[in-house]
Amino acid sequence: QGWGVRTLQRIRKNSFVMEYVGEIITSEEAERRGQVYDRQGATYLFDLDYVEDVYTVDAAHYGNISHFVNHSCDPNLQVYNVFIENLDQRLPRIALFATRPIRAGEELTFDYNMHVDPVDAESTRMDSNFGLVGGSLGGSPRARGRIECKCGAASCRKYLF
């Protein structure tokens, strides 16, 4: 599962929790880096494919605490594309919001193979393609094999991809 992140304080449902931050690179560069990262066993690539697959966020060398957030098939965070000071739909910012009240001390998780909440019609266009490679937090723009899930949730799908 990797390191993981726990909250020190209670978080209310629907609250903004954090942004997934990293270096913005082209999807071609992400594919190249992904092959290197796959050999190392851990990567932090998150495709920005809200309207087209042009850019990827790479949090391997530049990022924040978000790249330590683990996967769960029953997550307490949901990912949304947001646009702040930018109207280029190829460059959304990745925001994580609480799906339910979260207790102090609880681990923060999101679904790396997420199914976007259909309540938000705009967000149904989002598909992150965020994947887990080599058993550590991280991914590549394209899943390169069937990865076993070890989240432990009662609703676990057994495989990420």
Annotated binding site for Zn(2+): 73, 149, 151, 156
Question: What does the alpha-carbon distance between residue 93 and residue 81 come to, in Å, rounded to a whole number?
Answer: 6
- For residue 82, report the phi and psi dihedrals to the nearest 5 degrees: -130, 155
Residues marked as binding? 73, 149, 151, 156
Instruction: Kindly state the tokens that stand for 160.
Output: 């990420």
What's phi and psi for 127, nearest 5 deg? -150, 110
Alpha-carbon gap, residue 14 to 147, rounded angstroms: 30
Handedness of CA 98, 103, 109, 115 (dihedral sign): negative
* Longest distance between any two alpha carbons in the chain, whole Å: 40
The phi-psi region of residue 158 (left if phi > 0; otherwise alpha if psi is between -120 and 50; otherwise beta) is left
